[in-house]
Amino acid sequence: MIELRPDPAELARMRDFIRRRSAHHGLDETKAFQAQLVATEAVTNAMRHGFTEDRQPISVTCVWGEDGLSIEVGDRGRFRHREKSAPEATGGRGLGLIERFTRRFDLETSDNGTKLRMLVGNAA
């Protein structure tokens, strides 16, 4: 597990963490890149939308299972469903991107915060 300050400068450290975990578990190069991509999107969303005044850290956990690499991003914010983004919008595509590049994902929100679990694996 790694804890990140809600600061974009932390993204490089998080990507290195995901890269090392992916290599350790033998993800192929494409899946390792996808793991970094979806984790970056999830952490960026947590920094943007999960921000709390007390600047609680964002946690990123990687667990290897028989299905692949499970990445969990947790923050203290509350997820709110939003309307679908207009084609010309520059934001609002994060969950769609995550859905596209993971085998599955699960979003859980409670009074304690939001957790996004994503599965990336070598299998199709």
pLDDT, tens only, 57-99: 999 999 999 889 999 999 987 655 555 555 555 455 688 899 9
51 band by pLDDT with thresholds 50, 70 and 90: low
**C-alpha dist (Å) from residue 94 to 5, 21, 67, 82, 117:** 20, 22, 23, 12, 14
| Residues constituting the chain | 124
Q: Is residue 90 part of a domain?
A: no
Helix (H) or strand (E) holding 22: helix 11-24
DSSP conformational letter for 53? T
Q: Is residue 87 part of a domain?
A: no
Q: How far is CA 116 from the centre of its chain?
A: 6
Is residue 124 over pLDDT 90?
no
The Cα–Cα gap between 71 and 122 comes to 14
Q: Is residue 6 part of a domain?
A: yes
Whichever domain contains 29, its CATH number is: 3.30.565.10
Cβ burial of 116 (10 Å; 0-12, 13-18, 19+) is buried
Instruction: Determine the pLDDT at residue 91.
Output: 54
Give the mean pLDDT of the chain.
86
List the domain range (segments joined by +) for residue 62.
2-81+96-120
Q: Is residue 66 part of a domain?
A: yes
Q: Is residue 11 part of a domain?
A: yes
Q: Is residue 115 part of a domain?
A: yes
Q: Is residue 21 part of a domain?
A: yes
Q: What is the pTM of this model?
A: 0.85
